[in-house]
């Protein structure tokens, strides 16, 4: 294992960039964007996949050829029951026990329903799944998800597809401080590489995003930019950021003190 590998559901990974696969201009651009991102985990919406017919455009083949691990998601589900059924279908069809659990409670914001989410997560953990719940940044609902056996949490940065970045850095910082043992991945709402870098500088373990790459003018270039931003943010977190100060602190050494020993 490399020094900064991280364990995701027990699997050692080098890349801390998880990429969504929806909405790319063409299969070829998707293929190239996955390669440029360096992502080792890609997510796909099973509901969309079933609706369009599994295997359309060789979609699953593209993902498999990339060598990335599949993380099926339950995007489009509105109840625990529906999400549980879809998760079981994903396990059968795609031969993975990983599931990104999405249960939307509000159509306007696509905000996760915390009650249905905890209920579905509890059942799926019992059924042997590694559950990646897409949740809000609310500390107590995140704690409830851990209580029912989740090891990974995916709080939102902002509503899906909004590109607004991290709307509540305080809440995300609080999650990192209060849940030191959980694997925390910012998921959704990221619009720019700087947003992803900030998530990593806050100590998050990884970032998942889709729209900012898929809908960029140059998705392959943007995947590259995010790859570097996530690595830069991780290096920043690991290297110990200086604490912000209200007042100026002279950085030029005074005579006779070249080092701050
Ligand atoms: C692809 C996926 O799983 C989305 O539900 C996810 O939340 C990404 O959100 P953005 O498209 O805002 O990056």
Greatest Cα pair distance, the chain, in angstroms, is 73
Q: How many C-beta neighbours within 10 Å does residue 91 have?
A: 18
Token look-up 């619009």 returns: 191
Which residue is catalytic, options 31, 91, 100, 195?
100
**Residues of the chain scoring pLDDT < 50:** 54
CA of 181 to the centre of ligand 1 (A): 24
Cβ burial of 96 (10 Å; 0-12, 13-18, 19+) is middle
Q: Is 43 in the pocket of ligand 1 (CB under 6 A)?
A: yes
- Closest residue CA from atom 10 of ligand 1: 188
Dihedral sign for Cα atoms in the order 60, 55, 134, 218: positive
Is 47 one of the annotated active-site residues of the chain? no
Query: What is the reported pLDDT for 4?
Result: 80
210 is an annotated ligand-binding site residue: yes
Token look-up 């609080």 returns: 174
Is 0.90 exceeded by the ipTM?
A: yes
Token look-up 């720019």 returns: 192
| Fold type of domain 6-239 | TIM Barrel (3.20.20)
pTM: 0.93
Q: Is 210 in the pocket of ligand 1 (CB under 6 A)?
A: yes
Query: What is the reported pLDDT for 196?
Result: 98
Q: How many C-beta neighbours within 10 Å does residue 41 have?
A: 23
Asked if residue 101 lies in contact with residue 116, where contact means CB atoms within 8 angstroms, the answer is: no
> By three-state DSSP, how is residue 210 classified?
coil
Report the alpha-carbon angle 178-75-219, nearest 5. Answer: 90
What is the chain's alpha carbon radius of gyration, rounded to the nearest angstrom? 19
Q: How many C-beta neighbours within 10 Å does residue 25 have?
A: 12
Q: Is 223 in the pocket of ligand 1 (CB under 6 A)?
A: no
251 is an annotated ligand-binding site residue: no
CA-209 nearest atom, ligand 1 = 13
Q: Is 189 in the pocket of ligand 1 (CB under 6 A)?
A: yes
CA of 208 to the centre of ligand 1 (A): 7
What are the sequence ranges of the domains in the chain?
6-239
Dihedral sign for Cα atoms in the order 81, 42, 186, 184: positive
DSSP string, 51-84: HH-TTGGGHHHHHHHTTPEEEEE-TT--SHHHHH
């Amino acid at each position: 294992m490399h020094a900064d590998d991280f364990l995701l559901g027990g699997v050692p990974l080098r890349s801390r960039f998880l990429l969504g696969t929806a909405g790319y201009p063409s299969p070829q651009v998707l293929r190239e964007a996955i390669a440029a991102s360096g992502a080792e985990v890609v997510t796909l919406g099973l509901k969309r996949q079933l609706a369009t017919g599994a295997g359309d455009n060789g979609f699953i083949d593209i993902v498999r050829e990339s060598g990335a691990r599949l993380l099926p998601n339950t995007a489009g589900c509105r109840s625990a029951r529906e999400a549980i059924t879809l998760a079981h279908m994903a396990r059968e069809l795609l031969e993975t026990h990983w599931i990104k659990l999405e249960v939307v409670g509000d159509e306007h914001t696509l905000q996760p329903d915390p009650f249905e989410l905890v209920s579905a997560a509890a059942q799926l953990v019992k059924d042997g799944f590694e559950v990646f719940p897409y949740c809000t940044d609310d500390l107590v609902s995140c704690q409830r998800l851990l209580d029912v056996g989740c090891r990974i949490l995916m709080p939102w940065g902002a509503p899906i597809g909004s590109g607004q970045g991290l709307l509540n850095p305080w809440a995300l910082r609080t999650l990192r401080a209060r849940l030191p043992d959980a694997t925390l991945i910012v998921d959704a709402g990221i619009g720019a590489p700087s947003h992803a870098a900030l998530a990593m500088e806050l100590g998050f373990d990884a970032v998942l995003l889709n729209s900012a790459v898929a809908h960029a003018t140059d998705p392959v270039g943007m995947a590259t930019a995010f790859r570097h931003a996530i690595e830069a943010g991780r290096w920043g977190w690991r290297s110990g950021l200086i604490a912000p100060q209200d007042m100026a602190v002279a950085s030029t050494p005074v005579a006779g003190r070249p080092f701050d020993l």
